[in-house]
Structure 1
Amino acid sequence: MIMGTYTYCSPDGMKDLWCNIHSSCYTNKNSKYGFEFINQCLACKAAPEWEIPLPNVTYRSLDVEIRDVIGTESMLLTDQEFNSTTYFRFVHSDGYLKQLPRNICKFNIVLIDVSYNLFEEIGNISCLQTLDTLKMNENRITFVSNKTFAEMPKLSKSTCKNPEPLRGINSENLFYNTSLQHLMVCDVQDGCPKVGQCKCVRTFQPITDSLIIDCSNQSCNDLPDVVPDTRHKIVLFMEGNQIRSVNSKYYFKDVKILNLSRNPIQSIEESIQNFSNDAEIIITDHLLDSLPRQVQLLDPNVFRFGQNGIPCNCDNRWIGEWRKIKKARYPLFCSNFENVLIEDFIIHSTECDSRQDTLLILYSLIPLTIFIVLIWKLRHLRYDVKVLKNQFLPIDKKIQRSWQTDIYISFDEDNDDVRRFVLRRRELNTYIACRDSWPGSTDEQNIVMNLQRCKYCLIIQSSGMYDLDKTKSCTNRMEYRLAWDMFTDKKLCKVLVINFDKSKTETFQALKTKALYRLGMGFKIYDRKRSLNEKLLEVFNEPLVTNVKHIRQRKRRISAYLWQQSKYKTRPLKMTNNKVMYQNEVD
C-alpha cells in the first residue's frame, strides 16, 4: 500500500511503519550489507502510521489534571469522543510530576514527553501497546527495570540524558554512530564488590561485552575478594589506591583489563599466571624489585610497566631474556640505569656469566658432598644396624643350653675402686676373671671358655683401662673384641658398657661403643638421673635360674683339678698367712 511518497513496511512484523520510497536505506551502498541491514535501517528511519495522513486515523492531544501538590496523583482528560483509530499524545514538560497519570492505559498513546519533571523511575508501562516515542529528559531517573519496556512492540524512540556526550540523542542514532556506542553503559546495583571501606561501582558496557568494576581512589589495600558472577569479561579499575601486593584471586582468568596505576605495588604473587594472554595489566607507578617466575607463562605484552623500572642485575636477567624471546612491545626499563631496557642489559651482563659458572661448579659439588656425607654416615651407623638386627633375631637353643652363668664382667683389675665395686655386686650369678678363672689355663683360654658359658657381658670401662703400657690392657681389649663378635654372632644375648669414672676410652672400639650407647646398652655411673640397678635390670632382664647342681659340679671340678696338681707336686705360687694360694684360686 502506497500513500503519497510513503509505502507500508513492517520489518519485524510488529510495528506498522511507513517508509519513504526515496530513503537512503535503499541505496546500493547499503544493499551490500544485506536485506537484514536494510530492514534495520528502515525501522529507524520510517515514520509511524499516526504521522501519515491516513484516512479514518485521528491524532489528538491529552490534558492532564494534577490532583496533589507532590505530583504523584494525576489524571488524563479529553473532551472529545474517540475510538480505536484515535491516537493521542501526552506532553507535559517543566512540571513536578513524579508518576504517570493513573488512567494512562485507557488511551492509544503514541507519544509521551514528560521532560523536565521529577520522575525517579518509570514504572510498569507495558500497557501502552501503541507507544512509539518516550521522552523523559532531565528527570531524576536512576533505575529502569528489565520489565519496564516489556510487551511494547511499537516503541522505537527514546532519548538519553547521561552520559553527557549522549544527552538528547535518540537511541536509534547509536546504531549508526559507532563512535558513541562505547558510552552506553548500564548501572548495576546488585553484587557490587566491597573491600572494607573500599566501595566499588559496577556497570555493564554492552558494546564491549564487559562488566566494569570501578574501585578507583577509594584507599583500597587489596583487590576485591569476590566479584559478581558473569559470563562477560571483567574490567577492573583500581587506580589511585594503596595496594602493595597483587594477591591471588579466583577471577583472574576472566579479567580483560586490570588497571593498578598509581598504586605502590611492591610484589606480585605467583598466581599472576592465571591471567590470560589477552588481558591488559597496567601497573605504572609500581615499586617492584622483581617479578615472579610464573610470568614467563604469559605474553610480556600483557603488562604495561610505564616509566618505572626494576633493578637490572643477575637475579633479574631472566626477565630480559623472557621479554626478548617473546618480543615484548611495551618497555620495561632498568631502575638502576638511565634509559636502558632490561632486554639490552643482558647483552652487557658478562659478570653474570662468570657468576653462573661459579654457581654451576658449586651446584655440581652438592651431589658429591651428599654422597660423601652419606658414606660417612653409613660407615658410622653400620654397627647400629648390627645391634638392631641382633635384638630381633632369635638365639640358637643349643647355645642357650650351654649358658651356665649370667654375666661375664670385664674390668681393670688394677683399679682398686673398680675391683671393690665389682666384688660387691651380688645381684646376679657372675664370672670374674680374678676370682673364677681356671688355674693353669692361659688368659685367652679362660676368656673364650667362660664367655661361651655366659648369657650376658658387662664391660666396666675406667681411665687407662686400654693403655698399651698396662699389664692387663691386652686382656681387656681381647675381652671387648670377643664379646662384640659373640654378640653379633648371636652367641651372647646382650652387652652392657658402663663408664665408671668419665674415662676417655673413645679411641678404642669407639664406633662400637657409641652404637651400644645409642641403642640403650650403655650407662654412665656418674649419671644421677638413673639408678645402676635399674639399668642392670633393664638390660639383663632375664637371668638364668640358679642351678645348685651346676655350682656343686663346678666345686668338684676345681677340687679334682687341685688334687691332680698336688699329685704332681705343683709348686705353690704364693704363701699368705700360712695358707697356700694357687694362681686364680676361687674364694
Structure 2
Amino acid sequence: MNVLKVTVIIHIVSFVFGVNEFHSWKSESGLEKPNLLCTNSCLPREADDYDRCCACEGKPIWQLDPSISYLPLFVEYVNTFGRSNIVGNDSSSFYWLVHENERMGRLPDNLCEFNNTLVTLKLKGNRIQSIEGINCLNVLDILDLSENPISSITNETFSGMPNLRVLLLVNTNIKTVGPNTFMKAGTEIFFTDLSNNNFESYDVSNVYFKRRAFCNITMASCNITFAKAEGILQPGVQYGGGEVVLNNSTLNQHPFQLLFGSSIESLRNINQYELIGKMTYEKLDIPCDCNFGALLFGDIEVFKRFYYLPIDGLYTCSSPEHLKNLNVLNVFNDSSLLDMFVCHKQNFCPSVCTCIEQPSRYRMIVDCSNQNLTSLPTYLPETIYNIELNCSNNAITEVMPVNYLRKLSVLDLSGNQVTEISDTVLSRLGNLESLYLTDHGLPKLTRGFADIDASKVWFGRNSVSCTCQEKWIKAWRLGSKVNSSNPLLCRTDSHGILRAEITFDNCIEKEFDRTFFTLLLIPATALVAIFIARVLRFDAIMLKSLFTKSKNVHYSYDVYVLFDDTNSDIIKYVLEIFRYLQHNGFECFVPPIHGDYADVRDVQL
C-alpha cells in the first residue's frame, strides 16, 4: 500500500471520526506521519503543548478504522540456530508480528519484503544480537526488542524510519549510545523505553536535541554515564520537547552539568538556550560530589530547573560513603550539609598533597603540610575556585614564583623558617585573604609587602629588624585594620623589641630636631627665599615642563601623593585612595611607603 493510498484513507477516517474524535496532524518541528491521527482533545493548545499532546495521545489509523485490514504474520524457522522467515497472508493493508520469548537468533531473512506493510514488530525475549538492516521497515510504527542480547546500536540503526513511533529496548546488552542515535534526521520516535540497561557511555544529544515532538524517553533503573559530543547546543535554538524519565536510576552527573559546566555561574548559562520539556525522577541515586554540590549551592528554584520532583519523589546520594542515602533536599533545610559535597582532585595534585574542591566555600583546599617540602609545589590542579594552600610545618626557607599565585586566597607557611619572599611573589598575591608566616626567619621586610593589606599577614611572635629606613612599615600598618591579635614586632638597636606602630616615633623626633636646628642657623633673608622657593617649587617644575621638549622620558609612576605623613588619620585616608587608584591600574608613589627615609621630595617628584 503506497503513501498516497494511506493519505486518502487518513482523510476518510478523519472525516468519519474527526468531528468528534480524531484529525490528521503534522508536528510543526518534525516529520509527517501519514498513518497517525491526533485526538481532538489536544485542541486548542499552544504549538508545543499541541505537538506533545498529539505525540502522546495520537492513534494509528488501523486502530480507528475497522475497514482497514490489520492482520498477523508468523515465524517459520529454517534451522536449529534460530534462523527464520516470515510467512502470512499477502492481501492485508497492514501487518503485525508478535513472536516473544522464543529462540530467534537473528532478524528474519525476508523481513524487508514487508517494508511497506509491517507496522508492529514485537520480538521481546529472543536471542537476537544484531539488528543491522532493520531500518528497511519504512512504515514500522512499534518496535519491541526488549530482553534480547543486542550488543550495539548506532545513529544509522533507526535512520530512514520516519513512521517509527514506539521503540522498546528494555534490558539489553547495549553499553554505548552515540550521538543522535534516536533523533537523527529522518527519524522521530515518540516513545522510547531504555529501562534496565547499564550505559557505560550515553551521549546527551539523545536527551537534548533540536526540538521535536515526542512524548517521553524512559531510562528507569539504569546506570548511566553521560558523555558529550562537541557543539551540541546553539544559543537561540529550541531543544527537547517531551519528558525524560530517570526513575530509580544512578547517574554519573546531571547532563546539564556536562553541557554547561559544574560551577553555579556556568550552570546559569542555560538561560541562553531554549530548553523545553522536563526531566522527572523518583528515588534517583546521585553521586554527591563537588559537581552536584555546585548545583545545590544555588537556590532551590535553580535546582528545580534541573530536577523536576514529583510530590512523593526522592533524591538520595549514592556516594560517597559518608553521604550515602542522604535525602538531597535536606540540604535546603540544613545548609551546613553543603560543606560535605566535595571532590578529591587527582590530576596534577602533588603526590604528597591532597586536593579537595569544596563549592560551598568556593575553594580548593590543598594540604601539603608536614611533608618536609623545601619549596612551594610547582603545579596544582586546574580549578575555577580560590585555592587555599597549606604548606605548614615544612622546611621552606625561600618562597619563589609559581604559576598559581594569583589564585591563592590562603597561603599557610607557619612552621617554616622562611627567610626570603621575593617581591615578585608578593606582587601576585592580590587575591590573598590570609598569609601565615608565624615561625618565620625574615631578617627584615621588603617593600613588596606594601602590596598586601597588612591585616591579612600574620607574622606571629618572631620579630624583624626595623630602622628608620623602614619607616614605611608604620604607614602600611596604620593604613590597615590591624588588631592587637595580629602584631608585627620590630627589633631595634636602642629600644629592643617594639610593636611596629610605635617603633618609628623616635625617627620622627630626630627628624624634627635636625630640621629645627638647621632653621635656627639660617639668616632671616634666606628663610624668606627658601619659603618662597618651597611654595612655588611645583609651579616652577610644571612651567619648566611646558618649555622643555620630552626626550622619551619614561615615568615609573602615574600619581605622586604628597601629604602630612605624621598624621595617622591622614595616612589611613591616603592609603584608601592609593588602593583605589592601584586597583584601577594607576601606579602611585606614596612617599612613606615607596620612598626612602629622609628622601628629598623635589628629587622624588
Question: What's the TM-score bracket when you normalise by the shorter of the two chains?
Answer: 0.3 to 0.5
TM-score by length of 1: 0.34
* Greater gyration radius: 1
